[in-house]
Structure 1
Amino acid sequence: MIEIRQEEMKDRGAVLQLVHDAFGQWDESDLIKRLYLEEEVLFGLVAEEEGKVLGHILFSVMEVQSPELILSAAALAPLAVLPERQKEGIGSKLVEAGIQICRNNVDLAGIIVLGDPDYYRRFGFSSELAEKLDGPFTGECFMALEFRKAVLPEGAKIGYGKAFALE
């Protein structure tokens, strides 16, 4: 049976290898390391079965700033599942658990993700919502999920953490 739980330090090696295997490169694993080094991680979750890490999701801190206010949001990146275990719903379980944890955090206004629109729309993410934000990305792959209607102000600037090296 697959268990979704908080990522622990003992998982780090398996997580970094899993993320590499899922993406076929080290870039996303390097991002995870930088996010931890910069202390920008909100939390990570792993999907585990019989002691083996099958999937991983990470949420980090980001800022949503308008002339009137500054809000905190979560950046969802990366999400990875072992290639041989994809299409089994493991990623969906990780996303759903992560969204619930973020919703329970009263300091967060929502979540921003850059990913497959067909995949993330089923969780409530919207590229139309992200379109009204001033972020480093555009297009239908740049999506947002807000926890209260109209909480993300139009024209607000999205600030990813330093680890993303977007500046």
Structure 2
Amino acid sequence: MTTLRLRPEQPADTGAIRRVLAAAFARPDVATPPEVGLVDELRDDDAWIPELAMVAEYGGEIVGYALLTRVRVTTERGAAPALALGPVAVAPHRQRIGLGAAVVQAALDAATELGERLVVVLGDPAYYRRFGFTRADRMGLTSPWSGLGEPWQALLLPPATSGGTPPPQGDVLFPPPWSKV
């Protein structure tokens, strides 16, 4: 029986993660997809949170990846912390068996354990809806991708949904590496 192991990225995983990203985002017009460079650059940025870079190991092979990094929401009272989900990737030979959903859920669970409140993502609404994401603009969140409508999404994590202070509203500021994607 093949086992699935979900865990934070380790330094020795970098090469395998690069291969998963390159295969998952491969395009005939680009030698190396920009998502590979994005992850490499985010590792060296203040936005990097090691516990929130998750890998899916299936049968001892790293075949999936989900990354949450720090972003800021500019509010009337200053900047509020949030997270951005992405990139999310599964090796093509292991897609469509639930590994992507498993690694995304593992990353969201880890963020919840760390007390995070808000996650944003740009992606397929039909896919991310299963995790509870909804349109970010309806939550008062804007970004360079707001004009895309439904793909610009946000999720309130359980600590934020249990009451207390309302979630931040404002412009989501991404770290510099994101400007290259």
Match of 2:36 in 1: 29
Following TM superposition, by how much is the alpha carbon of 1:103 offset from its aligned partner in structure 2, in angstroms? 1.2
**Is 2:138 the partner of 1:124?**
no
Can you give the 5+ residue segments of structure 2 that lack an aligned partner in the other structure?
Answer: 27-31
Can you give the 5+ residue segments of structure 1 that lack an aligned partner in the other structure?
Answer: none
2:46 and 2:33 map into 1 onto residues whose CA distance is 20
Match of 2:48 in 1: 41
Identical aligned residues as a percent: 30
Question: Residue 151 of structure 1: SS of its match in structure 2?
Answer: coil
1:151 corresponds, among 133, 149, 166, to 166
Of residues 3-12 and 140-149 in structure 1, the stretch that sits farther from structure 2 once superposed is 140-149
1:130 and 1:44 map into 2 onto residues whose CA distance is 28
Instruction: Please show how residues 3-152 of structure 1 align to structure 2 within 5 Å.
Output: 3-24=5-26, 25-42=32-49, 43-106=52-115, 108-127=116-135, 132-138=140-146, 139-147=149-157, 148-149=160-161, 151-152=166-167
Following TM superposition, by how much is the alpha carbon of 1:26 offset from its aligned partner in structure 2, in angstroms? 1.8
| TM-score computed with the length of structure 1 as normaliser | 0.91
Given that 2:137 and 2:152 are in contact with CA atoms closer than 8 Å, whether structure 1 keeps it comes out as no
- Please tell me the root mean square deviation across aligned C-alpha atoms, in Å: 1.7
Following TM superposition, by how much is the alpha carbon of 1:77 offset from its aligned partner in structure 2, in angstroms? 0.7
Question: Residue 35 of structure 1: SS of its match in structure 2?
Answer: helix
Match of 1:165 in 2: 179
Aligned residues: 164
- Alignment deviations for residues 75-110 of structure 1 (CA, whole Å, 9 cap, x no partner): 10100001111110001111111111111222x221
| TM-score computed with the length of structure 2 as normaliser | 0.84
